[in-house]
């Protein structure tokens, strides 16, 4: 019988020893190693860890442990994103305080992480629901308030009728609440916003720094989300109104083709324009019907155009034509100026509207395509300007430049930019979040809570009705909400809303530098030492929200003088999801795989290895495709080698078998390269090869006593320590070393051992392989060419024919072209 190691025993054996050694503490002041900040996205404490966590932390650990082996002072912290709705919902169900559920779950996850052998620095833990943390949320909010980055406004906001709270734009997905999939509605409310739009250009332009360091997909998603558009603003005089109406257009070149104007029906402008026209009641009816429609209705792509003529006219500034003003819901009140010039010939939406309302269509760009009047298809491409006065004959780009110049000269327009990005709504009408540190005073208005009164702590939820009812439960806590105004002392009320939890996670990576600091959010000296994050690891689900907000916070803090950098995460790795049979795991789907079951059956190392080896880290892992049993088999195979070694620890490797030494050094070299380029699956494959080669050397080669075999075994153990820490530690002990292998150090690679003695050269004729020859890797091109022509196969194939071209790539191939 072949021995196999006892997984559970090995796990229990090493955990207390590692607790003692603490190989991953990064807080020592005199640490001479260069720094590396490796960060895993922190979890939400929603019960025990699941398969997705296991994948994410297995991958993050490969990176963190690799850099430790390479001699870096790695900060690899963990914390909990512990405010949020699930805790509140659980509290409602259990009739308890959200704190109980939250901190219970944190303890459960913490002990699972320890067992999973995550290389976290347990001295740097934070929870966003601790008053010591959210105090600094409040401080940060007030700093932003001072700078005008936090402000209140009335607006129609997204509202989830089930969660009974407002939602950020980013939290409405296809018209549904991202959390509970209820149809989101609109509600007019006075709410707190952060002015992220002030940073739109920098959020876009700074992505240059991230090119090649972040997944292209994420950069693309952020670009799409910010949605910068470049165009012009044009003033249209309005009959019977002193001030003109400004429209935004990306196609000022088509201004001569503007045959009507459309204003957003739900804009103040529309209401103002309709007043006194006699169509007020029809307008009101239309507005009501639009308001009744949900976002779902609005998103229907083939929805017919609707609208109402406002019985008023604008004057086209370039040709003096009187054009009708309509109100419609296809123009958005909160984008651009809420009013557009309609050019039906060259914009499909305008054309659809014109055809529905029987409005004129004037072609001003001539192209090969059919007249939109006939085809019903707007021509949106480039062409030659016609019917456009001074622009006639120009192409699109030239016409845009010229018209903007002309309009600017007459003070009728200018170039302009617009963004799809909107300001970030952060008020939430829920209990389990950071209270907004503002006091509303009847005479002083909004008053910030003075710094020495922070944190504004959450009261106990005891006896509180947390059920969603549209206003914050905090408003009902009399002795909490009623306070004296810090300015005039009069009776005033606290703002009862709490902050979006994305606020909490937008700066937590700064706090890890000293999570226990009590007089500041963070210490600039520590920040300068550790930040920016060298490697961020997390799911692509946060590609827009969390990453965009964090980038915004970093830039805002930079501008306030608190940070010396403008991008928080230098490198980003997005791991894929763990699926089962092709779809996301869920209880209702019946394809849930429990992490605890998998760990009990196969052990921590085999599960970690399976996650890492399943494929490229960015790809989804289908658990149906992986074999944890196979992983365990391999680990046993590797472990057995450590027991076969008969040479003493510390023996001289240079006396070992040269062939195996070369294999070992080449493997180490390739494993390093694969890890640094995130091809962890390839790195594992290389370790497997090394194990196979070592097995062969022991059984039928140089034998177990050869120092090269020990060298190989130690290389295997150290490589495996990135993925399978228990097995690696066990091997290390059997090899006669003391723990922890995590600190063993990456073996030094001897470049001389990477050089091949002989390489195979391919000999081709017309790209077809005729023969292979062994040559020295240092062979010159002329020498190689000579050898090729001396080769019998080549000679035979050539049969005296004269080559027209000879390609020599020493020491790889010779291709003779006839």
One of 17, 180, 284, 332 touching RNA (CB under 7 A): 332
Instruction: Write out the two tokens for 494.
Output: 């606290």
One of 23, 98, 336, 383 touching RNA (CB under 7 A): 336
Contact between 221 and RNA per CB under 7 A: yes
Query: Looking at 319-327, 677-685, 713-721, 738-746, which segment touches RNA (CB under 7 A)?
Result: 677-685
User: In this structure, are strands 322-328 and 260-264 parallel, antiparallel, or unpaired?
Assistant: parallel
Fill in the per-residue mask, 82 to 121: x = in contact with RNA (CB under 7 A), - = not in contact. ----------------------------------------
One of 643, 681, 747, 789 touching RNA (CB under 7 A): 681
**Residue 552: closest CA among 149, 36, 102:** 149
Q: Cβ 588 to RNA, closest distance in Å?
A: 18
CA 225 to chain centre: 12
Q: Which of residues 149-208 bind RNA (CB under 7 A)?
A: 173
Query: Looking at 87-95, 127-135, 330-338, 718-726, which segment touches RNA (CB under 7 A)?
Result: 330-338
Phi (first) and psi of residue 287, to 5 degrees: -60, -40
One of 762, 775, 787, 798 touching RNA (CB under 7 A): 762
Contact between 436 and RNA per CB under 7 A: no
Query: Looking at 17-25, 370-378, 657-665, 760-768, which segment touches RNA (CB under 7 A)?
Result: 760-768
Answer whether 505's CB lies under 8 Å from 568's CB: no
CA angle 47, 52, 57 (to 5 degrees): 95
Report CA dihedral (424, 429, 434, 437) to the nearest 10 degrees.
80
One of 524, 529, 589, 812 touching RNA (CB under 7 A): 812
One of 560, 685, 705, 753 touching RNA (CB under 7 A): 685
Q: Which residues 6+ apart lie within 8 Å of 12 measured at CB?
A: none
Q: Which is nearer to RNA, 213 or 636 (CB)?
A: 636
Instruction: Write out the two tokens for 593.
Output: 């795989």
Contact between 457 and RNA per CB under 7 A: no
Other CB atoms closer than 10 Å to residue 764's CB: what's the count? 18
Q: Cβ 298 to RNA, closest distance in Å?
A: 5
Contact between 703 and RNA per CB under 7 A: no
Q: Which of residues 411-430 bind RNA (CB under 7 A)?
A: 418, 420
Q: Return d(Cα 767, Cα 345) in angstroms, integer.
A: 55
What are residue 506's DSSP bridge partners?
none
One of 132, 321, 526, 689 touching RNA (CB under 7 A): 689
Q: Return d(Cα 258, Cα 341) in angstroms, integer.
A: 6
Q: Which is nearer to RNA, 118 or 717 (CB)?
A: 717
Q: Which of residues 513-572 bind RNA (CB under 7 A)?
A: 544
Query: Looking at 19-27, 346-354, 435-443, 485-493, which segment touches RNA (CB under 7 A)?
Result: 346-354
Contact between 626 and RNA per CB under 7 A: yes
One of 80, 634, 726, 746 touching RNA (CB under 7 A): 634
One of 113, 118, 264, 354 touching RNA (CB under 7 A): 264
Q: Which of residues 769-798 bind RNA (CB under 7 A)?
A: 769, 772
Under rule CB under 7 A, how many of the chain's residues touch RNA?
A: 82
Q: Which of residues 599-618 bind RNA (CB under 7 A)?
A: 613-616
CA 27 to chain centre: 28
Q: Cβ 274 to RNA, closest distance in Å?
A: 18
Distances (CA, A) of 493 to 439, 455, 564: 6, 16, 38
One of 445, 564, 745, 767 touching RNA (CB under 7 A): 767
Contact between 20 and RNA per CB under 7 A: no
Contact between 692 and RNA per CB under 7 A: yes
Contact between 77 and RNA per CB under 7 A: no
Q: Return d(Cα 125, Cα 120) in angstroms, integer.
A: 9
Query: Looking at 486-494, 593-601, 632-640, 791-799, which segment touches RNA (CB under 7 A)?
Result: 632-640
Q: Which is nearer to RNA, 386 or 762 (CB)?
A: 762
Instruction: Write out the two tokens for 572.
Output: 């980003």
Q: Which is nearer to RNA, 471 or 692 (CB)?
A: 692
Fill in the per-residue mask, 284 to 313: x = in contact with RNA (CB under 7 A), - = not in contact. --------------xx-x-x-xx-------
Tokens 């395509």 correspond to 369
Q: Return d(Cα 485, Cα 491) in angstroms, integer.
A: 6
Residue 376 zone, left/alpha/beta (φ > 0; ψ -120 to 50; rest)? left
Answer whether 49's CB lies under 8 Å from 105's CB: no
Q: Cβ 287 to RNA, closest distance in Å?
A: 14
Q: Cβ 294 to RNA, closest distance in Å?
A: 12
Q: What sign has the CA pseudo-torsion 686, 688, 691, 692? A: negative
Task: Give SS3 for 94.
Answer: helix
Contact between 217 and RNA per CB under 7 A: yes
One of 130, 526, 625, 771 touching RNA (CB under 7 A): 625
CA 720 to chain centre: 29
Report CA dihedral (161, 163, 166, 169) to the nearest 10 degrees.
-90
One of 42, 136, 141, 225 touching RNA (CB under 7 A): 225
DSSP notation for 499-551: E-HHHHTTSHHHHTTSTT-SSSS--HHHHHHHPSBSEEEEEGGGTTHHHHHHH
Task: Give SS3 for 561.
Answer: coil
What are residue 219's DSSP bridge partners?
none
Instruction: Write out the two tokens for 672.
Output: 């390093």
One of 26, 138, 249, 379 touching RNA (CB under 7 A): 249
Contact between 593 and RNA per CB under 7 A: no
Distances (CA, A) of 633 to 2, 320, 482, 600, 686: 12, 83, 65, 16, 16
The full 3-state SS of 101-125, as one line of letters, equals HHHHHHHHHHHHHHHCCCCCCCCCC
Query: Looking at 97-105, 506-514, 716-724, 763-771, which segment touches RNA (CB under 7 A)?
Result: 763-771
Q: Return d(Cα 553, Cα 509) in angstroms, integer.
A: 11
Query: Looking at 9-17, 140-148, 335-343, 354-362, which segment touches RNA (CB under 7 A)?
Result: 335-343
Contact between 340 and RNA per CB under 7 A: yes
Distances (CA, A) of 508 to 227, 545, 566: 27, 15, 16
What are residue 114's DSSP bridge partners?
none
Q: Which of residues 22-51 bind RNA (CB under 7 A)?
A: none
Q: Which is nearer to RNA, 434 or 815 (CB)?
A: 815
Could you tell me where the beta strands, DSSP code E, fall in 195-335? 229-238, 245-249, 260-264, 308-315, 322-328
Q: Which is nearer to RNA, 430 or 666 (CB)?
A: 666
Tokens 């779950």 correspond to 105
Contact between 726 and RNA per CB under 7 A: no
Q: Cβ 608 to RNA, closest distance in Å?
A: 15
Task: Give SS3 for 166.
Answer: strand
Query: Looking at 427-435, 495-503, 553-561, 693-701, which segment touches RNA (CB under 7 A)?
Result: 693-701
Q: Cβ 38 to RNA, closest distance in Å?
A: 22
Q: Cβ 772 to RNA, closest distance in Å?
A: 6
Instruction: Write out the two tokens for 131.
Output: 């008053």
Contact between 231 and RNA per CB under 7 A: yes
Q: Cβ 537 to RNA, closest distance in Å?
A: 17
Task: Give SS3 for 414.
Answer: strand
Query: Looking at 387-395, 436-444, 599-607, 683-691, which segment touches RNA (CB under 7 A)?
Result: 683-691
Contact between 815 and RNA per CB under 7 A: yes
Q: What is the CA radius of gyration of the chain?
A: 34
Contact between 754 and RNA per CB under 7 A: no
């Amino acid at each position: 019988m072949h021995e196999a190691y006892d997984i559970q025993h090995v796990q229990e054996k090493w955990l207390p020893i590692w607790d003692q050694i603490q190989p991953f503490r990064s807080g020592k002041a005199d640490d001479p190693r260069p720094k590396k900040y490796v960060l895993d996205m922190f979890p939400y404490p929603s019960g025990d860890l699941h398969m997705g966590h296991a994948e994410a932390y297995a991958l993050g650990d490969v990176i963190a442990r690799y850099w430790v082996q390479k001699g870096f002072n790695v900060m690899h912290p963990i914390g909990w994103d512990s405010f949020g709705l699930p805790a509140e919902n659980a509290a409602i169900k259990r009739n308890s305080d959200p704190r109980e559920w939250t901190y219970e779950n944190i303890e459960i996850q913490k002990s699972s992480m320890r067992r999973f052998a995550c290389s976290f620095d347990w001295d740097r833990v934070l929870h966003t629901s601790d008053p010591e943390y959210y105090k600094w949320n409040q401080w940060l909010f007030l700093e932003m308030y001072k700078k005008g980055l936090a402000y209140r406004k009335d607006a129609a906001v997204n509202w989830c009728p089930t969660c009974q709270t407002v939602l950020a734009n980013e939290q409405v997905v296809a018209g549904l609440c991202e959390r509970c999939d209820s149809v989101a509605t609109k509600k007019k409310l006075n709410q707190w916003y952060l002015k992220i739009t002030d940073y739109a250009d920098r959020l876009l332009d700074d992505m240059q720094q991230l090119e090649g360091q972040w997944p292209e997909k994420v950069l693309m998603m952020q670009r799409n989300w910010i949605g910068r558009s470049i165009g012009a603003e044009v003033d249209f005089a309005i009959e019977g109104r002193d001030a003109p109406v400004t429209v935004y257009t990306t196609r000022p070149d088509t201004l001569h083709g503007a045959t009507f104007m459309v204003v957003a029906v739900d804009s103040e402008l529309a209401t103002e324009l309709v007043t006194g026209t006699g169509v007020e009641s029809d307008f009101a009816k239309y507005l009501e019907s639009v308001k009744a429609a949900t976002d779902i209705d609005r998103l229907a792509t083939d929805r017919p155009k609707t609208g109402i003529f406002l019985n008023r006219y604008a004057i086209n500034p370039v040709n003096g034509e009187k054009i009708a003003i309509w109100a419609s819901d296809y123009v958005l009140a909160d984008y651009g100026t809420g009013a557009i010039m309609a050019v039906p010939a060259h914009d499909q939406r305008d054309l659809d509207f014109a055809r529905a309302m029987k409005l004129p269509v004037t072609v001003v760009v001539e192209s090969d395509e059919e007249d939109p009047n006939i085809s019903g298809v707007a021509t949106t491409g480039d062409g030659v300007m016609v019917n456009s006065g001074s622009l006639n004959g120009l192409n699109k780009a030239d016409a845009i430049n010229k018209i903007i110049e002309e309009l600017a000269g007459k003070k009728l327009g200018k170039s302009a930019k617009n963004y799809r990005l909107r300001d970030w709504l952060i008020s939430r009408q829920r209990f389990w979040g950071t209270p907004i540190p503002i006091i509303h005073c009847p005479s002083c208005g909004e008053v910030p809570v003075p710094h020495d009164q922070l944190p504004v702590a959450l009261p106990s939820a005891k006896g509180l009705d947390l059920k969603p009812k549209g206003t914050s439960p905090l408003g009902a806590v009399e002795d909490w909400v009623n306070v004296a105004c810090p300015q005039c002392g009069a009776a005033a009320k606290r703002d009862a809303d709490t902050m979006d939890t994305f606020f909490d996670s937008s700066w937590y990576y700064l706090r890890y530098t000293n999570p226990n600091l009590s007089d500041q959010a963070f210490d600039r000296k520590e920040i300068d030492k550790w930040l920016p994050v060298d490697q961020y690891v997390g799911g692509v689900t946060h590609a827009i929200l969390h990453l965009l907000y964090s980038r915004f916070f970093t830039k805002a803090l930079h501008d306030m003088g608190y940070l010396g950098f403008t991008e928080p995460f230098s490198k980003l790795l997005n791991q894929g999801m763990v699926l089962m049979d092709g779809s996301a795991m869920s209880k209702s789907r019946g394809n849930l795989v429990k992490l605890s079951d998998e760990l009990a059956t196969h052990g921590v190392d085999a599960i970690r290895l399976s996650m890492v080896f399943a494929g490229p880290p960015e790809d989804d892992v289908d658990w149906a495709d992986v074999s944890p049993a196979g992983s365990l088999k391999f680990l046993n195979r590797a472990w057995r080698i450590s027991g076969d070694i008969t040479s003493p620890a510390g023996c001289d490797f240079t006396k070992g078998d040269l062939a195996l030494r070369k294999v070992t050094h080449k493997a180490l070299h390739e494993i390093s390269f694969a890890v640094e380029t995130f091809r962890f699956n390839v790195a594992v494959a290389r370790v497997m090869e090394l194990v196979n080669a070592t097995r062969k050397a022991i059984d039928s080669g140089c034998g177990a006593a050869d120092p090269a075999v020990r060298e190989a075994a130690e290389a295997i153990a150290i490589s495996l320590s990135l993925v399978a820490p228990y097995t690696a530690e066990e091997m290390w002990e059997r090899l006669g070393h003391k723990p922890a292998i995590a600190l063993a150090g990456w073996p030094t690679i001897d470049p001389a051992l990477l050089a091949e003695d002989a390489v195979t050269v391919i000999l081709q004729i017309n790209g077809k392989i005729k023969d292979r020859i062994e040559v020295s890797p240092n062979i010159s091109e002329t020498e190689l060419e000579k050898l090729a022509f001396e080769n019998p196969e080549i000679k035979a194939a050539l049969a005296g024919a004269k080559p027209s071209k000879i390609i020599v790539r020493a020491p790889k191939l010779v291709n003779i072209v006839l």
